[in-house]
Structure 1
Amino acid sequence: MTTVPGATKDRLKGLYAITDENLIAEEKFSETIEAALMGGASIIQYRDKSSDPTKRLHQAATLRELCNKYGATFIINDDIGLAKTVTADGVHLGRDDTALASARQELGEDAIIGISCYDDIGLAITAEQNSADYVAFGTMFSSPTKPDAVCAGPDTITQARKQLNIPICAIGGINESNILQLVNHHTDMAAVISSLFAADDIQQRARLMSQYFI
Structure 2
Amino acid sequence: MNRLSGLYAITMDGIQGGALLAQAEAALGGGCRILQYRDKSSDDQRRSEEARALLKLCQAHDAILIINDDLDLCLRSGAQGVHLGRDDPDLQSARRRLGGDRIIGVSCYNDLQLAHTAAAGGADYVAFGTIYPSSTKPAAVNAGLELLQQAKSELDTPMVAIGGITPENAYPVIQAGADMVAMIQGLFGQNDIQLAASNVTRFFQSIRGNP
Shorter chain as denominator, the TM-score bin is over 0.9
Alignment-derived partner of residue 101 in structure 1: 92
Alignment-derived partner of residue 43 in structure 2: 52
RMSD after superposition:
1.1
Q: Aligned pair in 2 of structure 1 residues 25, 86: CA closer, same or farther (>3 Å)? A: closer
Amino acid at match of 2:12: D
Amino acid at match of 1:75: I
Amino acid at match of 2:121: N
- Structure 1 stretches lacking a partner, 5+ long: 1-7
Query: TM-score normalised to the size of structure 2?
Result: 0.94
User: Is 2:8 the counterpart of 1:19?
Assistant: no
Alignment-derived partner of residue 4 in structure 1: none
Structure 1 stretches of at least 4 aligned residues deviating more than 6 Å after TM superposition: none
Amino acid at match of 1:34: E
- Structure 2 stretches lacking a partner, 5+ long: 206-211
User: Is 2:59 the counterpart of 1:87?
Assistant: no
Q: What's the CA shift for 1:51?
A: 1.2
Query: TM-score normalised to the size of structure 1?
Result: 0.93
Alignment-derived partner of residue 37 in structure 1: 28
- Cα distance in 1, alignment partners of residues 178 and 48 from structure 2: 31
Alignment-derived partner of residue 136 in structure 1: 127
C-alpha distance after superposition, 1:37-93 (max 9, x if no partner): 001111000000111111111110111100110000110000001101111111000
C-alpha distance after superposition, 1:113-147 (max 9, x if no partner): 00000000000000011000000000000001000
Q: What's the CA shift for 1:21?
A: 2.5
C-alpha distance after superposition, 1:83-105 (max 9, x if no partner): 01111111000011101000000
The number of equivalent residue pairs is: 205
Superposition pairs for residues 42-191 of structure 1, below 5 Å? 42-191=33-182
Q: What's the CA shift for 1:31?
A: 1.4
- Cα distance in 2, alignment partners of residues 197 and 162 from structure 1: 31
- Cα distance in 2, alignment partners of residues 27 and 73 from structure 1: 20
User: Is 2:204 the counterpart of 1:210?
Assistant: no
- Cα distance in 2, alignment partners of residues 213 and 27 from structure 1: 29
